[in-house]
Amino acid sequence: MSFELAPVLADLEAVCGVPTPARGAGPDTVVTIPAAKAHAALERLKARHGFNVLVDLTCVDFLGFGAGTAHKSPAPEGARFKLVYRLMALDAASGLSNGRVALDAWV
């Protein structure tokens, strides 16, 4: 089974109500979503696209970036942390991955 990203992006945009920019390709695709919609987006990916494994959940702190530092912050105004959810659709029968994607949300 080959993984199609377009339906996943369309569903995420429907859940989030805003465009969900994606970067990267294949299993390295990262989609940015609003933090307030993270739970709904994760539920939709599990129910409709079979993303049943949370491979990794991490947070990046951008404290040393932005105003008063030598480094421009990649964070939107008022945000400091980026949550990153890495998901996989695992076929339990074969043990093979049917797709991978990462979601990130600024808080």
Give per-residue pLDDT as tens, 73-95.
899 988 999 999 999 999 999 99
Tell me the pLDDT of the chain averaged across its residues: 92
* Residue 8 confidence (pLDDT): 93
- Count of C-beta atoms within a 10 Å radius of residue 71: 9
When mean pLDDT is compared over 2-6, 40-44, 66-70, the highest value belongs to 40-44
The pLDDT confidence band at residue 2, using thresholds 50, 70 and 90, is low
* Residue 32 confidence (pLDDT): 95
Amino acid identity of residue 93, one-letter, is A
Residue 18 scores a pLDDT above 60: yes
Percent of the chain topping pLDDT 70: 98
CB 106 within 8 A of CB 76: yes
Beta strands, E only, 1-107: 22-23, 30-32, 53-61, 81-90, 97-106
Residue 106 scores a pLDDT above 70: yes
Tokens linked to 85: 């959810």
* Residue 27 confidence (pLDDT): 79
Q: Taking each helix axis from N to C terminus, what angle separates 5-16 and 38-49, rounded to the nearest 10 degrees?
A: 140
**Residues 2-6: contacts with CB under 8 Å, at least 24 apart:** 3/89, 3/98, 3/99, 3/100, 5/29, 5/101
